[in-house]
Amino acid sequence: MNPYLPLDEYIPDAEPRVFEGRLYVYGSHDLAGGEKGYCAGDYMVYSAPLDDLSDFRLDSVAFRRQDCPDLTEGDAMAAPDCVKGIDGAYYLYFNTNRQKVCRIAKSESPAGPFTYYGEVQRSDGTAYDDYKMFDPGVLVDDGHVYLYVGFCMPGPVPEKYRGLKSPFAPTSIGYELASDMKTIISGPFPIIPGGNVSEGTGFEGHSFYEASSPRKINDKYVMVYSSEQKHELCYAVSDKPLEGYKYKGVLISNCDLGYEGNTEPVMPYGNNHGGLVMINGDYYIFYHRQTHGIECCRQGCAQKLIIDENGDFMQAQVTSGGLSGTIKAKGVLNSAYCCGLASPDIPNDSLHEKSDRMLSEPHIYEDPDTKEHYIKRIKKSYKGNF
């Protein structure tokens, strides 16, 4: 069901990977209530057997905050990715909110734990910091290693960067790395245009915001990313890993905006991040939902994707069925599994980190004292009683 992890776990930004006959999920780690902001916890690793996607287990604390160099209190260990390297070891890539470099941890097992390995570096061995290496996504393809990063802010340059070189490129960017999994061979290359440079590209209205997630499917290079809309995950396709990407469509919105022409959110919504994975011949998109009336208390969800007659992915609908696709029509389910929470008290705009909407609208909630999970602030609406 959605969420696919226990209700007291908040693992957003999930990158699903299949290693050694199991599905592994790597994500950042919010905490119940969101009082400490985005990604305040350690990196965790959860996995499930491919023949039973309801049987997730916690494999390890993958990498602890205390082991991240130069991490300060209040900094966020943001969305990671994990790949199997050229040497057969497993590499966890991540960037923090207040640092520019892309950091790497290494393990001999996909389940972790991971130990610190270093930073993505130039050929002279110095850490690469020309741009902020946000939300790294990595693809290992036929002996080549590709790294994709980026954060594109639409609109005017923020005041603090006026007259200075911004740490953010106008597009998402890509690099090729050496077999050591950290030394840049070539790049940066522009990949997906941001909102300020999308005119005439085919990405208008769905330009790059963050969350690069690369895959190779049927000899095509597929880039999943969070668009300028923030609530939706889109995808683009190319014949080459570092150029030529064309916009293809929306995979999912965490409030179903755009699904079958829908213009009203079915859930309180905010940013989105996730990845594609094929399991037993079917493709699934992993994403996250917001809880607690705030954007930084997110839970991992997943939906099966349908492929149309042209071979393109269609936008999936948010459901509580999740990886199973269905809900058993018997027994009692906790209301916190609700993935369609609509109310006249929920506005049409996005949640954010400083949101106080938990005081005014229904939301999924974990009681800090009893640890019970339920929908809080259900009340009479102006349209009648429920």
Active site residues: 13, 210
User: For the chain, how many residues are written?
Assistant: 386
Strands in 282-291's sheet, in edge-to-edge order, are 276-279, 282-291, 294-304
Nearest to 170 by CA among 187, 156, 149, 153: 153
Instruction: Give the whole-angstrom CA distance, residue 242 versus residue 226.
Output: 18
Contacts of 25 (CB under 8 A, 6+ apart): 5, 11, 14, 15, 16, 17, 45, 46, 47, 56, 286, 300
Look up residue 256 and give its DSSP letter: -
Instruction: Give the whole-angstrom CA distance, residue 188 versus residue 176.
Output: 9
Contacts of 81 (CB under 8 A, 6+ apart): 15, 26, 92, 93, 94, 136, 137, 138, 213, 275
